[in-house]
Copies of this chain bind each other. A is one copy, B any other.
Amino acid sequence: MSALEALKKDLDGLQIEDNPQIVKQKSRDFFWYSPVLKGQLDHVTGDLVVTPKSEAELIQVLKACYAHDIPVTTRGTGTGNYGQAMPLAGGVVLSMTAMDRVKEIRPGVVVAEAGAIVSKIDEATRAHSGQELRLHPSTARTATIGGFIAGGSGGVGSINWGGLRDLGNVIRLRVLTMEAEPKVLEMTGEDLHKVMHAYGTNGIITEVEMPLTAAYDWVDVLVGFDDFMDAAVFGDALGNQDGLLVKEIAPIAAPLPHDYFLRHQKFIRKDQSVVVCMVAPFAMDAFAAFTRRFKAAEMLYRSDMASEADLKSLPPAYELAWNHTTLRGLRVDPSITYLQVLYPFPTQIEGVRRMTELLGDEVPGHLEFVRFDGKITCFGLPIVRYTTEERLNEIIRLHEDNGCPIFNPHRYTLEEGGMKQTDAVQLAFKREADPKGLLNPGKMIAWENPDFDFSSNKLFLFPGLHRD
């Protein structure tokens, strides 16, 4: 009997899927945003999908996999796009989607199982007491909260609250270790960094306790500019308005808004750059006054004055922003890809200007203003009109040479897609919590190859991905 057959026997009675086509489908995320990852990961698949309904069932899965030395790659709904949740070494794809209960809501706090869909949490907290999560990805309507914490970094709301990494944006995580007898750990404070944004390589998040903030009927607003740099300056100034409550500020360069936002196209000229905003309803007078200070600004659309028909047919503004901009672009033009850039404060506007002048319509700008270490600055998620991997790497180098660090979305490892160095805390915790190295193998270079030289400019290729 193979290990896999033995495992299936051990998991008798649990929800298991082994139809190869379905397993392959559930082994994928949005890695295909990247032509580089597409080439590397397209063939990746697990051996079976297990979907536990409770922590007890989950512990049963882990114990069995540990006993049979079978890798476990945890996933929510696979909305990541770094290949975070793709099982490079096969084995079990652990779907958390059936552990989706919202367990407790109180002032400022929600407790939910890791597989709860982000927008479902917001629905529950809004109905309960007019509250909502501080931060959500543009994929809120499909992503799980556990996946967001394990594989994401911020998103809508980051203009007010910074990123997930910031102390206070996650209150508590309940985590299982991958041992003969899995431990249940409750992590708070500094400990949270052990497992956050670790792609599930060193523990399984089963429950989250997250801070809430006041929920409002956010007004979606599109503001048009003839010049992308005017849009960038507007976004920066808006972010620095301390009393003007917004949840999202995303300047996007022409012709992307017209070309990609098909259902909003009628509001946007092809040569118009657009700032996508979400504004508190009671701040609209102040927002209008602020916008009038910019001669070049034109309010193209505001949902609080939209027709019933428009309100029904238009997607929410946050589904024009963050990686939904890229997604909408890929639907129109599958040949594009994108990058993730940080324009560091206080030279963010100069950085944007320099890269815009340097790269023009080969890399049309898309900015996301955020609070970052207490200051307002912006990330870039520019579209790249992709030609070759060589040129892509050149574009990356051009950004870095101009003081704009890249978080490379064309790499599937923690280190290469992030800070290009080992996270010692995460590595140390993996030694404790996953001694056999069975959790999401291949994603933490420091584990796989402690001698890997990050400065070599060599690509890390997980041995499991070598194909004959």
A residues with a Cβ closer than 8 A to B are: 107-109, 129-131, 134, 160-163, 166-169, 171-172, 188-190, 211-217, 239-245, 280-283, 285-290, 292, 346, 371-376
Contacts and interface: CB of A to CB of B under 8 A. Distances in A.
Contacts of A168: 241, 243-245, 283, 286-287
A108 B282 contact: yes
Given A131-B214, A189-B286, A289-B189, A242 B161 contact: yes
Given A282-B171, A289-B189, A166 B241 contact: yes
Contacts of A214: 107-108, 131, 212-214
18 contacts: A107-B214, A107-B215, A108-B245, A108-B281, A109-B282, A131-B214, A160-B242, A161-B242, A167-B241, A167-B244, A167-B286, A188-B285, A188-B289, A189-B285, A211-B245, A240-B373, A242-B373, A242-B374
Contacts of A134: 243
Contacts of A215: 107
A58 B169 CA distance: 49
Given A162-B242, A239-B374, A107 B286 contact: no
Contact of A172 (B109, B172, B285, B371): B285
Nearest to A246: B168
A190 B289 contact: yes
B283 A240 contact: no
Given A130-B129, A240-B374, A373-B240, A290 B167 contact: yes
A161 B243 CA distance: 5
A171 to B, nearest CB: 6
Given A107-B216, A189-B289, A214-B107, A242 B372 contact: yes
Closest 4 CB pairs of A and B: A240-B374, A162-B242, A189-B289, A166-B243
Contacts of A216: 107-108
Contacts of A217: 107
Contacts of A280: 108, 211
A134 B134 CA distance: 17
